[in-house]
Structures are given as C-alpha cells and as structure tokens.
Amino acid sequence: MDTISDTKSVSSEDAVAPDVMPRTGRTYLSVLDLSPEALEACLTLAARLKRERHLGADAPTARALRGHSLALLFDKPSLRTRTGFEIAMRELGGNVTCPPSADALGTREPLADVARSLERWVSVAAIRTSEQMRLREFVEATTRLRIVNALTNEEHPCQALADCLTVRERWGAVRGRTLAYVGDGNNVAASLTHAAMMLGLNLRLASPKRFALPEATLTAARRVARHGATVVQLQDPVEAVRGADAVYADVWTSMGQEADQTRRRAAFQGYRVTSALMAEANDDAVFMHCLPAHRGEEVDADVLEGPRSVVFDQAENRLHTQKALLLMMLGGTDLC
Ligand code: CP
C-alpha cells in the first residue's frame, strides 16, 4: 500500500497554504494515512475552497478534476458523506457513478474483481462498508485506484476532517484546546482521536468501561501526537467535560449494532449531553455531533438546537473537506 509522503513542513497552524502541497498517498483509509503536514494542508485547502465556492463555475478549481470519475460504493445508509462526495466531485469538474451496492459490495463476485474492473474506469472509489479489511481487499487488488474510507466499523476519517475544520474556524487555532467526547468509543471517536493528536488538540473521552476506545487505537494516536497533545480515556462524563472547549456526542448504537440497542441504551445512561453537562464546559464551549442525532438519547434537543451547537457547520464542512481530499489525492492541487 502506498503511504503518504510530505514534501514540506507547514510551520504555522492555519491560514497560510504551503508553497508546495504535501502529497497524499493512494489511500485514505484512516487519518493515519496522512502526514500531519498533509492533514494541516487539507484543512487549509478546504477553508479556501469554502471561501471560493460562491464563484461557482469561475472558481479556480471548477475544472480541476476534469476527466476523473469517482465511484461511490455504499452498503450502508448515508446522507452527508454520499451527498458531500457527489457535489464535491461535480464542483471540481469530475464525474460520479453510484453502482448499486448489491452489485459492487454484495456476493455476486469477489471484491477483488469489482476493484479491478472499477480501476479501468474511475480514478477514485469512496467506500462505506462494515470491516476495514474489505477496503484493504480493494487496495491490494489494484495499483492505481485511489480508495477513500467513507466509514467502516473501525474508522470514519472523512468525518474527522470536517470536525477539525469546524473547530479551527471557531477558534482560529486548535493547539492547546481541549475537546471532550462523551459516549461510545466508536469509529468517529477513533478518527477524531487520530486527527486531534496530529493537530495538537487535547482529547478527553468518557465512555462506559466496556465501550471505551480500544487501547491499540489510543496507542496509535499517541504515536502521532504533536505539540504536546494528550488523550485520556475516562468513565466520568463530568470529569471529561469540565473546562473543555468543545463537547462531542455520537449515537449510542451505530449502524449494524441495532440488535444490541437495548443493552447499549442501558449502558449509556448517564452519558447524555444535557444542558447541565454543557454547563461544566467552558462558557464559550461548542457542542458537536456528526449526525444523524437521536434527540433525548445521546443529546438533549435543547443542546442540539441551542446557540452553542455547531453540528450543521460540521455537516457543511463535510463538502469542503472532501473536496480538498479529492484534489489532494488526484493531483488537482496543481490548479489551486
Ligand atoms: N456523519 C455522517 O457520516 O453522516 P452520514 O451517515 O449521513 O453520511
């Protein structure tokens, strides 16, 4: 598998785009596939694409991916990720194809044959499926096809890009800030932890003991930590949230875990983000959620709908960050 190579360090945290865009590799299966410099550059590029979006067909990147096609292979539901990728590719001048999931990810033929066929037609595939291992089958079967993780059981690296852009917009700089994640140590938490450590954002995770982030994920994240960033796994939500600059919640029962919903609901009692819990955070702390949200379960409606909520900024930023990612993976940054 290709890995990421970076060509130039970005010394400041934000704003200034590097003269030479750090390169991405052929895959974005995990935030860990990016160097810290490439992650910073992706966020900076996304912020610029967001500013330039109003230019429409006159935007400098409006034809950057002309001649490229993106295949969306999703065997789980999606609104934000799928729509974000479709609009992103079209606004960059490329094409999108959405083969039925039963044909592309079903039992009709081996995944390797699907991958080798797609490689003859498209430049990049964004795949939402169950095990991360299925994405690796795609990678191993092909040599040129770029592959993006659009969510697996283990990681959700596209979500983490939007999350990081959202807090960077709010704070200007994320280094030294603290984000509290309350709930399941799931795919969203894993990717957020990876990205936070690379950007110097401290993380406190609060989960019931048996739903904590796997120790291996914490170890991998600590390995890429920069600027003194720390991650701690706690059980007490109040301890995690006290004095935090952002509070993040996600569903207690992720896609594919529905059979376990009753047990999970019982285990996560006490982990709902309420206005009382938000009061433990800093006065200007924001509330974050990757959506879809279950009001009255992991978050109360008044928090989700309240003035501190940035959940629709996160949703919007899915588009801008996925656009930046596609440009970086397909070499379209030459036109930026
Ligand atoms: N947050 C997220 O991935 O949204 P979708 O499931 O709608 O894509």
DSSP letter string over 85-136? HHHHHHHTT-EEE---HHHHSSSSS-HHHHHHHHTTT-SEEEEE-S-HHHHH
- Residue 34 to residue 5: CA distance in whole angstroms: 8
Are residues 267 and 197 part of one domain? Answer: yes
Q: What is the pLDDT of residue 21?
A: 77
For residues 147 and 173, membership in a common domain is answered with no
Instruction: For residue 59, give the CATH number of its domain.
Output: 3.40.50.1370
Residues 6+ away with beta carbon under 8 Å from 289? 248, 249, 250, 298, 299, 304, 309, 311, 314
Which residues, at least 6 apart from 129, have a Cβ–Cβ distance to it below 8 Å? 73, 74, 75, 76, 105, 135, 152
In a domain, 207, yes or no: yes
- Expressed in angstroms and rounded, the spacing between residue 34 Cα and the centre of ligand 1 is 21
291 Cα to the center of ligand 1, angstroms: 6
Tell me which of 42, 158, 164, 290 is the catalytic residue.
290
Q: Ligand 1, residues 86, 291, 310, 314: which to mutate, most atoms within 8 A of Cβ?
A: 291
Q: Specify the residue with its C-alpha closest to ligand 1, atom 1.
A: 290
Q: What is the per-residue pLDDT for 1?
A: 34
pLDDT of residue 25: 87
pLDDT, position 257: 86
Tell me the average pLDDT across 292-301.
Answer: 97
- Per-residue DSSP letters for 246-283? EEEE--SS-TT-GGGHHHHHHHTTT--B-HHHHTTS-T
Q: Of all atoms in ligand 1, which is nearest to the CA of residue 315? A: 1
Identified catalytic residue from 184, 318, 320, 322: 318
- Please check the confidence at residue 13 and state whether its pLDDT lies above 80: no
DSSP state of 56: G
pTM comes to: 0.93
Clarify whether residues 239 and 223 are in a common domain: yes
Give the pLDDT score at 256: 87
Which residues have CB under 6 Å of ligand 1? 78-81, 151, 159, 290-291
Query: Considering the chain, what is the average pLDDT of its residues?
Result: 93
CA distance to 43, 266, 270, 322, per residue, from 50 (Å)? 10, 41, 38, 11
pLDDT digits over 257-282, tens only?
Answer: 888 899 999 999 999 999 999 999 99
Distance between CA atoms of residues 201 and 168, nearest Å:
10
pLDDT score, position 169: 98
- Confidence band for 178, pLDDT divided at 50, 70 and 90: very high
Going by pLDDT thresholds of 50, 70 and 90, the confidence category of residue 11 is very low
Q: What pLDDT is stored for residue 14 in this prediction? A: 46
Q: Is 210 helix (H, G, I), strand (E, B) or coil?
A: helix
Is residue 294 among the annotated active site residues?
no
Q: Verify that 164 and 310 share a domain, yes or no.
A: yes
Residues 286 and 323 in one domain: no
> Mean pLDDT over residues 48-60, rounded?
97
Question: pLDDT band at residue 206, thresholds of 50, 70 and 90?
Answer: very high
Q: Which pLDDT band holds residue 255 (cuts at 50, 70, 90)?
A: confident
Same-domain check for residues 167 and 46: no
Q: Is 159 a catalytic residue?
A: yes
CA angle 104, 107, 109 (to 5 degrees): 65
Q: Are residues 74 and 122 in the same domain?
A: yes
Is 156 marked active-site? yes
Pair (137, 263) in one structural domain: no
At 335, is the pLDDT very low, low, confident or very high (cuts 50, 70, 90)? low
Residue 16 pLDDT class (50, 70, 90 cuts): very low
Domain region containing 189: 159-314
Active site residue 226: no
* Closest ligand 1 atom number to CA of residue 84: 8
At residue 72, what are phi and psi to the nearest 5 degrees? -105, 115
